[in-house]
Amino acid sequence: MNYQEILAKYADKPGGMIEAFHAIQEELNYLPEEVIIEAAKVFNKPTAQAYGVATFYSMFSTAKRGKYVIRICESAPCHVAGAAEVVAALEKELGVKMGESTADGLFSLEFTECVGQCQATPVITINGEPYLDVAPAQISGIIAAYK
């Protein structure tokens, strides 16, 4: 993937930096420092402003992440429904803590705010795909589908 080509594709569009960051993150699963610096040049913005865009929006990550980003909702309904037990099952299954990635680069664990599925809590998403009413006993099977 040539990130310069992606940046150039969005250079003349209003809001193009955000769209370019989405496209690049779709490919890499994060925004490397060199991408942010180059985006500042392409969009004729200060580097600090490009970093501001990359770090303000929760959907962007400037840290390298696994191929599959597993997010668990930490809102009140999920918390009450047992999200902490699901977190413990995820950490045990993957051998990493929340905010970390597996050594093989396959999985990253992150918290997220409400994903709009409060009728079926707790909720996890894997690369945006929601899993509803998740119980700790289901985690092994869910993870196995991505290995």
Q: What is the mean pLDDT of residues 11-16?
A: 92
In a domain, 50, yes or no: yes
Same domain, 88 and 126: yes
Same domain, 83 and 103: yes
Same domain, 73 and 132: yes
Same domain, 31 and 81: no
Same domain, 72 and 138: yes
Two tokens, residue 44: 């004729």
Statement: the pTM of the whole predicted model exceeds 0.75: yes
Same domain, 16 and 73: no
Alpha helix stretches (DSSP H) within the chain: 3-10, 16-28, 33-42, 47-56, 76-80, 83-94, 139-144
Same domain, 45 and 84: no
pLDDT in tens, 26-61: 888 899 999 999 999 999 999 999 999 999 987 888
Residue 28's domain spans which residues? Answer: 3-56
Tell me which amino acid residue 121 is.
Answer: T
**Total tally of structural domains belonging to the chain:** 2
- The CATH number given to whatever domain includes residue 128 is 3.40.30.10
In a domain, 63, yes or no: no
In a domain, 14, yes or no: yes
In a domain, 136, yes or no: yes
pLDDT band with cut points at 50, 70 and 90 for residue 1 = low
Q: What is the mean pLDDT of residues 85-110?
A: 95
Q: Which residues contact 77 (CB under 8 A, 6 or more apart)?
A: 114, 118, 121
pLDDT at 24 over 90: yes
pLDDT at 82 over 70: yes
